[in-house]
Chains A and B, each alone.
Chain A
Amino acid sequence: MSLQGPWAVLSAPGLLFAALGLAALSMPFMTLSANRIVAGDGVLAWRVADPSATLPGLAAIVAGLMLGLPSGRTRLHLAGAVLGLGGVLWVLMQGASALLDGAGDYARVSPSVGFWFLLVVLMLLMADALAAMTPRPLLRAAFLAAALVATAAILSSGALSDLSVMQEYAGRRDAFRSEFLRHLGLAFGSLAAATIIGFPLGILCHRRSRLRNATLPVLSFLQTIPSLAMFGLMIPILGWVGTTVPGAQAIGIAGIGFAPAFVALLLYSLLPVVGNTAAGLASAPAAAIEAARGMGMTPRQRLMRVELPLGLPIVLTGLRIVLVQNIGLAVIAGLIGGGGFGTFVFQGLNQTATDLILLGALPTVVLALVAAIVMDILVELARPTQTVTQ
Chain B
Amino acid sequence: MIEIDRITKVYDGAKAVDAVSMTVETGTITVIVGTSGSGKTTLLRMINRLEEPTSGEVRINGESTLSVKPHILRRRIGYVIQGHGLFPHHTVARNIGAVPRLLNWPREKIEARVDELLTLFSMDPAQFRDRYPAELSGGQQQRVGVARALASRPDLLLMDEPFGALDPIIRARAQDDLRHIQQRLGSTILLVTHDMEEAIRLGDRVAVMDGGRLVQHATPAELIARPASAFVADMVGNVERPLRLLSLIPVSEAVEDGPAEGEPLPAGSSLRDALSACLWTGRTAVPIHRDGTSAGRVTLDAIRARAGLHE
Contact = CB atoms under 8 A, between A and B. Distances in A.
Contacts of B83: 287
B51 to A, nearest CB: 11
Interface in B66-85: 70-76, 79, 81-85
Interface stretch (B1-9, B86-94, B112-120): B86-94
B10 interface: no
Nearest to A312: B89
B193 interface: no
Nearest to B87: A288
Interface in A206-241: none
B48 A294 contact: yes
A301 B102 contact: yes
B135 A295 contact: no
A201 interface: no
A389 B48 CA distance: 35
Contacts of A388: 132, 134-135
Contacts of A158: none
Nearest to B137: A390
Contacts, number: 74
A306 interface: yes
A310 B88 CA distance: 8
Interface string B128-151: 000010110000000001001100
A5 interface: no
Contact of A294 (B74, B76, B88, B134): B74
A132 interface: no
A99 B158 CA distance: 84
B134 A287 contact: no
Contact of B89 (A291, A296, A385, A389): A385
Nearest to A298: B71
B102 A295 contact: yes
Nearest to A302: B71
B156 to A, nearest CB: 12
B86 A288 contact: yes
B85 A285 contact: yes
B75 A384 contact: no
Contacts of A298: 71
Contacts of B84: 287, 291
A390 B140 CA distance: 13
A297 interface: yes
A354 B91 CA distance: 57
A296 B102 contact: yes
A387 B48 CA distance: 35
Given A296-B99, A390-B134, A290 B85 contact: yes
Interface string A268-306: 000000000000000001011011111111100100011
A376 to B, nearest CB: 20
Given A291-B81, A296-B73, A296-B102, A306 B50 contact: no
B99 A288 contact: no
A384 B88 contact: yes
Nearest to A386: B132
A305 B86 CA distance: 13
Contact of B50 (A288, A293, A384): A293
A385 B88 contact: yes
Interface in B21-54: 48, 50
A309 interface: yes
Interface in A311-362: none
A386 to B, nearest CB: 9
B298 interface: no
A295 B88 contact: no
A292 B94 CA distance: 13
Given A295-B75, A385-B134, A309 B81 contact: no
Contacts of A310: 87-89
Contacts of B85: 285, 287-288, 290-292, 294
A286 to B, nearest CB: 8
Given A290-B81, A388-B135, A390-B134, A295 B86 contact: no
B81 A295 contact: no
A301 B72 CA distance: 13
B89 A295 contact: no
B79 A288 contact: no
A363 to B, nearest CB: 38
Given A301-B102, A306-B87, A385-B88, A296 B81 contact: no
B48 A297 contact: no
Contacts of A294: 48, 50, 74, 79, 81, 85, 158
Contact of B86 (A291, A296, A297, A390): A291
A296 B71 contact: yes
Given A292-B85, A296-B75, 10 more contacts: A285-B88, A288-B88, A290-B81, A291-B79, A294-B158, A295-B79, A301-B102, A384-B89, A385-B134, A388-B132
**Those 9 A-B pairs whose CB atoms lie nearest each other, nearest first:** A384-B89, A291-B85, A294-B79, A296-B74, A296-B75, A287-B85, A296-B71, A385-B132, A388-B134
